[in-house]
A = this chain, B = another copy of it.
């Protein structure tokens, strides 16, 4: 999907949020915002938000001199998620339909706020989210496709969420190729983050070659693109990957939360909807 003009102020919001992660110096933050602001008029809004986001995060990295401002947070989130792993595993294994529960857990991983501190609060938050219905729920087709597929391409989104992905991967009991970003961008998972989540025990980890906060095929490596085009089943996590891949054809299943008005409008669902499409 292409970007909307609503994304225009939002890119500055994201820049502000990210800049604040690596400095509290208002002048430095203002400098980064200024650089992003003057770059936006040159941006082609026919591009996907993921492509524009890539430019925005490139500017931030360049101006701040820090390539991965989320590095520390990604570690903390992964550790928190790992601490929840036994609880989630039990939840899935004792469920009437463990695969469906694992799908929902994977969506929860896209939603949960690791900023909340205590493990107890996280468990409570997970339970609340698990009680929300999927506003679009193509689970039946997901299940059927999974039964037929001999290998699944699983496109990751955020670090921390990776642990929730691992639980779904383990439940699918089929060979999985887990696809991460080539370089750090926002809180998206790279090789290191996937390994920290223990994904290597359950799947093969590869990079899509992308350094955008979403999977845009034209930016991917030839190797990944070939894999994508031949795939029997593709699971795409999160909004950024949806933005990049919603226009592509293929055995695609999107697991995401509609986190902004633009996506909610595009999909004609209420803001905040949990979706399996």
Contacts and interface: CB of A to CB of B under 8 A. Distances in A.
Interface string A1-31: 0000110111011001000000000100110
A4 B5 CA distance: 23
Given A37-B40, A38-B41, A41-B34, A26 B9 contact: no
A45 interface: yes
Contacts of A101: none
A82 interface: no
A33 interface: yes
Contacts of A9: 9-10, 12-13, 16
Contacts of A30: 5, 8, 45
A179 B41 CA distance: 38
A238 to B, nearest CB: 22
Interface in A17-65: 26, 29-30, 33-34, 37-38, 40-41, 45
B26 A16 contact: no
Nearest to A11: B9
A33 B8 CA distance: 8
Nearest to A14: B9
Nearest to A41: B34
A3 to B, nearest CB: 11
Contacts of A45: 26, 30
Contact of A5 (B10, B33, B38): B33
A29 B45 CA distance: 12
A108 to B, nearest CB: 26
Given A38-B38, A38-B41, A16 B12 contact: no
B34 A5 contact: no
Contacts of A6: 16
Contacts of A5: 16, 26, 29-30, 33
A92 B66 CA distance: 59
A13 B8 CA distance: 8
A1 to B, nearest CB: 15
A33 B9 CA distance: 9
A266 B38 CA distance: 29
A180 to B, nearest CB: 29
Interface string A112-144: 000000000000000000000000000000000
Nearest to A42: B34
A29 B7 CA distance: 13
A135 to B, nearest CB: 25
Given A5-B30, A33-B41, 8 more contacts: A5-B29, A6-B16, A8-B16, A8-B37, A9-B9, A33-B40, A37-B41, A38-B41
21 contacts: A5-B16, A5-B26, A5-B29, A5-B30, A5-B33, A6-B16, A8-B16, A8-B33, A9-B9, A9-B10, A9-B13, A9-B16, A26-B45, A30-B45, A33-B40, A34-B40, A34-B41, A37-B37, A37-B38, A37-B40, A38-B38
